[in-house]
Structure 1
Amino acid sequence: MSDAASSDLLALVQVHYQDLLRLLTRRLGCASLAADVVQDLCVRLRELGGDASAAIANPRAYLFRMAGNLATDHQRRARAIQRHLSPDPVPDALACDRPAADDVLHQRQRLLALRAAIDALPPRCREVFLLHRFTGLSHPEIARRLGISVSMVEKHVQRAMAQCRDHLRRLDG
Structure 2
Amino acid sequence: MANCEFTALTDQELVGLVQLEDNKAAFSELYNRYWEPLINLAGKRTLSLSMAEEIVQDVFVDFYLRRKEIQLKHSLVAYLKTAIKFQVFKTYRAQKIQDKYIETVSHLGQASPIQPDSMLEAKQIHAEIVQITEKMPPTCKQVFLLSRFEKRSNQDIAEQLNISVAMVRKHITKSMNMMRAEINEHQMDIFYLMLLLYSHKN
TM range (shorter): 0.3 to 0.5
Q: How high is the TM-score relative to the length of structure 1?
A: 0.43
